Amino acid sequence: MPRIRVLSDRVANQIAAGEVIERPAAVVKELVENSLDAGATRIEVEFRHGGRSHLRVEDNGCGMSKDDALLSLERHATSKITETADLDALGTFGFRGEALPSIASIAKFELQTRPAGQATGTEVLVNGGKLVHVRECGVAPGTRITVAHLFGAVPARRKFLKSDATESAHIIQTVRLYALACPQTAFTLIEDGRVLFQSPVCATLEERVAEIFGRQFAADLLPVDASEAGLQLGGLIGKPGVSRASRHEMIAFVNRRPVDSRTLNYALIESYATSLPKGRYPVAVLFLGMNPAAVDVNVHPAKREVRFRSEGEVRGFVIRTVLQRLRQSGAPAAAPETMNSESGRRHAPIPPPGIAQPFPWRASQPPSSVAPAPAVQPPRPEVAGRLAAPVAPPIANRDSESDNPTGAPPSAFSVPHGAATPRLPGWRFLGTAHGDFALFESPAGVVVLDRRAAHERVWFERLQAQFARGEIASQRLLFAVPVELDPVGSALLLDRLDFLRRHGLDVAEFGRNFFRIEAIPAWLEPEAADVFLRDVLALARDGRLDERTPRLAEEELARLAAQKAVRLPEATSEADALALAGRLFACAQPHTSPAGRPTHFELSRGELAKRFQR
């Protein structure tokens, strides 16, 4: 018979730590929440090596007496609730009384604390759950907690941690969320001795947003403030047309607690459905206030998920509020800032330095037989002014399907690499349907082709081939484009400057969180350089541009670029449509777009005969 034993506190704490403390950022979350619960008006967070080797959170809050300091390290010791009924009226971040003992069980944990009224403070040192000493110490009123060698006692957990840069990005994001939730508390964040941000007490959320994300970001937002039947919604939302490639800047709080809520995210996305292009996400910092009894924050100790008692009401309220605010702002819907505009023009690229013949296929290729050479027009004057050197007219050899029909100069990339456009014998173009779809008769039946998906596939493989050959066509900008990033974006970018430079995007740092885009890929509009860089960083934030797997990173970059580069002409000629189909079927993987959507389907003659019961 196995003997049943009660686990020691130390083991129980280590097990609980596995739930609550997934990564260094979770320690920061717990400690910062405690500082806020203690009424701090100043919080300083410092960390080294992504928080593994050293983490410190210091506040000027209420502090603890010696007895409380010791008690705070006991399991389920909390000053915040006494009965489960209190959960319904919760006004604090913490309530489980699990965080401190959990952290102390898996690290070297030092607590120094002093209530304002007492002459001396208390220092408690715990190592891997074992009490080392308790003694008096000199410390300013408030609490300082230092955590070293996190997961030192749990090597299995240590292995799951990502690179320092990734862990550090999580910590920065965590501190940023609480700084947004509490503008009246001053925050300082220090990484490896460098101040990442320092925000004084702010009078308004707008000020805090500008402090953390930069003035550019703040200028793109509109304030919202509404209430309805026990619900309140306040904060800032993106002006119509302001969008991002990822959801990272849709930030939501419920009763000041940062949350991940599908309900809120979907409500927001839906509100912007008509004013943002497909695949783009809105920007928002939203605070939902409601009766604590109507929301369940108890879903998981470490996760930020919440559940609303009445999802439908919350959803409806958010959509109504946001839609009304967008309407009031007077801006027309659909003002996309992305590159997908049909009227996008091209500029001829300037060969990058050091590559004698950047477009080797040009000189040797006979003009394509499918499209007549258009007159090359100079770029728009304001655009030409941004280019550093006179522009050599590109070879008048183009595939018009990937150019716009307005006669703008074709891009260097518009000539397919390799032989002339492959032909599809026996194919006949029948016309387009609903603009996006091209219809063909093929020897085997009828083919419906999604023009955008097809273009993206062709571009994707073309860019990949160019990356593989190192033939990156880049244009140097006469006037570098200044960009202000948040600390996470800056850190991600600094790690990838070389990679991006090798792929045609040359960015230089010229101050903390300030950068200058000096050269961009040839196919990109200088006006869209800023948005493209942010999209690239969104990929990096999702862990999809990892320098350790350069092939995959390159593929992700090509995928994004293909989406950005394609400008779909409204109309297409027979020659263009056949050329597009020809190039698609010459691709290595013609059946799907780089994003995995189908590019075409075929109705076979047999199928047609069957449908008509022939």
Strands 108-114 and 506-511: unpaired
Q: Which is nearer to ligand ADP, 299 or 388 (CB)?
A: 299
Q: Side chain identity at 390, as an amino acid letter? A: P
Question: Is residue 361 within a helix (H) or strand (E), and if so which, with residue range?
Answer: helix 360-364
With binding defined as CB under 5 A, does residue 101 bind Mg ion?
no
Q: Which is nearer to ligand ADP, 44 or 191 (CB)?
A: 44
Q: Which two tokens stand for residue 503?
A: 């792929």
Give the one entry of ligand ADP, Mg ion, none that residue 35 binds, where binding means its C-beta sits below a cut-off of 5 to 8 angstroms depending on kind. Answer: ligand ADP
Can you give the binding site for ligand ADP, defined by CB under 6 A?
30, 34-35, 38, 59, 61-64, 72, 77-80, 94-100, 143
413 in Cβ contact with 473 (< 8 Å):
yes
Give the one entry of ligand ADP, Mg ion, none that residue 95 binds, where binding means its C-beta sits below a cut-off of 5 to 8 angstroms depending on kind. Answer: ligand ADP
d(CA 471, CA 357): 9
Q: Which is nearer to ligand ADP, 72 or 263 (CB)?
A: 72
Given 34, 166, 168, 173, the residue binding Mg ion (CB under 5 A): 34
Angle between helices 262-271 and 311-328 (to 10 degrees): 30
Q: Which two tokens stand for residue 507?
A: 């960015």
Q: Which is nearer to Mg ion, 106 or 491 (CB)?
A: 106
With binding defined as CB under 5 A, does residue 474 bind Mg ion?
no
d(CA 520, CA 536): 12
Residues binding Mg ion: what is the number (CB under 5 A)?
Answer: 3
d(CA 484, CA 530): 9
Shortest Cβ distance from residue 95 to Mg ion (Å)? 8
* Backbone torsions φ then ψ of 186, nearest 5 degrees: -80, 135
Question: Is residue 146 within a helix (H) or strand (E), and if so which, with residue range?
Answer: strand 142-148
147 in Cβ contact with 89 (< 8 Å):
no
With binding defined as CB under 5 A, does residue 20 bind Mg ion?
no
Chain residue at closest Cβ approach to ligand ADP: 94
With binding defined as CB under 5 A, does residue 61 bind Mg ion?
no
Q: Which is nearer to ligand ADP, 101 or 214 (CB)?
A: 101
Exposure b/e, 537-568, CB count within 10 A at least 16 = b? bbbbbeebbbeeeeeebbbbbbbbbbbbbbbb
Shortest Cβ distance from residue 203 to ligand ADP (Å)? 25
Q: Which is nearer to ligand ADP, 77 or 446 (CB)?
A: 77
Shortest Cβ distance from residue 20 to Mg ion (Å)? 10
Shortest Cβ distance from residue 73 to Mg ion (Å)? 12
Residues near 393 by Cβ (< 8 Å), separated by ≥ 6?
348, 376, 409
The interface with Mg ion within residues 518-577 (CB under 5 A) comprises: none
Q: Which is nearer to Mg ion, 99 or 202 (CB)?
A: 99
Give the one entry of ligand ADP, Mg ion, none that residue 191 binds, where binding means its C-beta sits below a cut-off of 5 to 8 angstroms depending on kind. Answer: none
Q: Which is nearer to Mg ion, 79 or 592 (CB)?
A: 79
Shortest Cβ distance from residue 56 to Mg ion (Å)? 17
206 in Cβ contact with 286 (< 8 Å):
no
Shortest Cβ distance from residue 9 to ligand ADP (Å)? 13
Chain residue at closest Cβ approach to Mg ion: 94
d(CA 420, CA 403): 17
With binding defined as CB under 5 A, does residue 99 bind Mg ion?
yes
Shortest Cβ distance from residue 462 to ligand ADP (Å)? 55
Shortest Cβ distance from residue 158 to ligand ADP (Å)? 22
DSSP string, 7-48: PPHHHHHHHHHHHH-SSHHHHHHHHHHHHHHTT-SEEEEEEE
With binding defined as CB under 5 A, does residue 38 bind Mg ion?
no
Binding site for Mg ion (CB under 5 A): 34, 94, 99
